[in-house]
Amino acid sequence: MTRPVALVTGARQGLGRAIALALAGRGFDIAGLDLVVDEKAEALDTELAALGARSWMGAMDLAEVESHAAALDAAEAALGPLSALVNNAGIAARPLTDILDLGTEAFDRNLGVNLRGSFFLTQAVARRMIAAPAAAYRSITFITSIAASHVSTDRSPYCVSKAGLSMAAQLYADRLGGAGIAVHEVRPGFIRTEMTGSAPVAKIDAYIETGAVAQRRWGQADDVGHVVAALAAGVLPYVTGQPIYVDGGFHIPTA
């Protein structure tokens, strides 16, 4: 039987790697995109093969929208039409900068990758999905963040990009529902990855210990990977366009 194909952006490490492995465990072949194809990407290829998945890794800067078509052509030539897209790639707001001191360059770069790049890659993939014969279940997933709804004034471009990405998920869910394409938003909380390694970890540790996170621990990349893979596999077929929190209960309003 032909395995469905999932495209994961930012696949070579962190959440992207965990998502790719979880998808392979659910029976997907994996097309991965990242800024570079290096030893991390090669190691992921090996791990995916051990799970019985075919894989292809390509290099692309998500912010360069004009490069999307060629990358998608190469992925589909290697593995076949896409059944799932996971918009995972993103950059953090570094260095942390007060909103009153933020410059346009940092703002534009963050939104160019996190929001604009993912928005237009989704547009390109959606067009291809609609034009191709329908698979049993097709989906597009946006990885946003608790920053989509929780203010951090020294990470303002990141917050704006993730809030915008949350709206993009709803827009695409509304537009693509009639074509049988589900659109999901997965909203992670405090997850230990290479990206969060540059965050104020001690401050977050103390915050978690206060009970702000109900489960009182950091999340792991696999916590997100398994949720994304279940969604892509169609485990929740009548769900689309809503945030699904993977945050240990951080989003729960408390008195």
* DSSP character string of 24-76: HHTT-EEEEEES---HHHHHHHHHHHHTT--EEEEE--TT-GGGHHHHHHHHH
Structure-token pair, residue 84: 């799932």
CA 197, 91, 204 angle in degrees (round to 5)? 35
| Nearest residue to 241 (alpha-carbon basis) of 199, 187, 196, 184 | 184
CA 11, 16, 21 angle in degrees (round to 5)? 90
Name the DSSP class of 134: P
The backbone torsions φ and ψ at residue 183, rounded to the nearest 5 degrees and listed phi first, read -125, 125
Supply the CATH number for residue 81's domain: 3.40.50.720
Q: Which residue has the higher pLDDT, 206 or 66?
A: 66
Residue 56 β-bridge partners: 31
| Nearest residue to 232 (alpha-carbon basis) of 129, 137, 163, 116 | 137
pLDDT band at residue 180 under the 50/70/90 scheme? very high
Q: What percent of the chain has pLDDT over 70?
A: 98
N-term to C-term CA, the chain: 52
* pLDDT at position 2: 84
Asked if residue 1 has pLDDT above 60, the reply is no
User: Does residue 182 lie in a domain region?
Assistant: yes
pLDDT digits (tens, 9 = 90+) for 104-128: 999 999 999 999 999 999 999 999 9
The backbone torsions φ and ψ at residue 125, rounded to the nearest 5 degrees and listed phi first, read -70, -40
pLDDT digits (tens, 9 = 90+) for 134-164: 768 999 999 999 999 999 999 999 999 999 9
Return d(Cα 121, Cα 185) in angstroms, integer: 16
Structure-token pair, residue 105: 């360059």
Q: How many domains does the chain have?
A: 1
Name the DSSP class of 236: S
Return d(Cα 95, Cα 109) in angstroms, integer: 13
User: Does residue 204 lie in a domain region?
Assistant: yes
User: Does residue 251 lie in a domain region?
Assistant: no
User: Does residue 205 lie in a domain region?
Assistant: yes
User: Does residue 252 lie in a domain region?
Assistant: no
Burial class (CB in 10 A: 0-12, 13-18, 19+), 104: exposed
pLDDT digits (tens, 9 = 90+) for 195-236: 776 667 888 889 899 999 999 999 999 999 999 999 999 999
What does pTM read for this prediction? 0.95
Q: Show the domain range for 13.
A: 5-244
User: Does residue 249 lie in a domain region?
Assistant: no
Q: 39-50 and 14-25 are packed helices; what angle lies between their axes, rounded to 10 degrees? A: 20
User: Does residue 214 lie in a domain region?
Assistant: yes
The backbone torsions φ and ψ at residue 171, rounded to the nearest 5 degrees and listed phi first, read -60, -50
